[in-house]
Amino acid sequence: MGLEVGAGCGVRVEDIKLALKGHVQEGYKFNPASPLSDGDPGYISSPSADDKVHLLVYVCDANASEIKEPVMQKMKEIREVASGLGIPQVAIVTKVDEACDETEKDLKNVYKSKHLKKKITEFSARLGIPLNCIFAVKNYSSETYLDEDVNTLMLNALRLMIDFGDDFINKM
């Protein structure tokens, strides 16, 4: 479940805010029709440091046409709360090979592609995430073998996410 819009669709922003603060028990199933509140099963009244979010990751498909404004508003609202809590934030842009002929031919062109740079720059400006916190990755989809270029992009993003989370924990 994501941030879809419409009646009964998507995670409620208020529930995500509670999760950021550590009030949502691991494994809790979000209910778009009913917000989580104090006293509900799955609600943590006194969250420990381990219960709190240490890194917020946005995931966006590079092929998706522009993110609808209601979804972007939800993302901005969540971002503001996370920023207020000092939680580091990054974004993963997926399927970069499908979004650009240059990267489809050679994944090493991912940071040379003007088309991808434009998409990532627009996403950065709309959401407010710095460009150096947005990572481009290719999804494994039809491959039957591991590819070093695909792994390099994914592992680099993962390593940086771990570093951001570690830095946050060390500041706590």
28 and 106 inside one domain: no
Domain that holds residue 19: 1-48
- One-letter amino acid of 45: S
**Cβ pair 124, 131 in contact under 8 A:** yes
3 and 18 inside one domain: yes
44 and 57 inside one domain: no
74 and 158 inside one domain: yes
Model pTM?
A: 0.88
29 and 75 inside one domain: no
110 and 167 inside one domain: yes
Token pair recorded at residue 108: 């090493």
40 and 73 inside one domain: no
- Structural domains in the chain (count): 2
Q: Residue 65: its pLDDT value, please?
A: 67
22 and 64 inside one domain: no
Token pair recorded at residue 121: 């720059």
22 and 68 inside one domain: no
Residues in the chain, how many?
A: 172
64 and 79 inside one domain: yes
pLDDT tens profile 69-126: 888 899 999 999 999 999 999 999 999 999 888 888 999 989 899 999 998 998 899 8
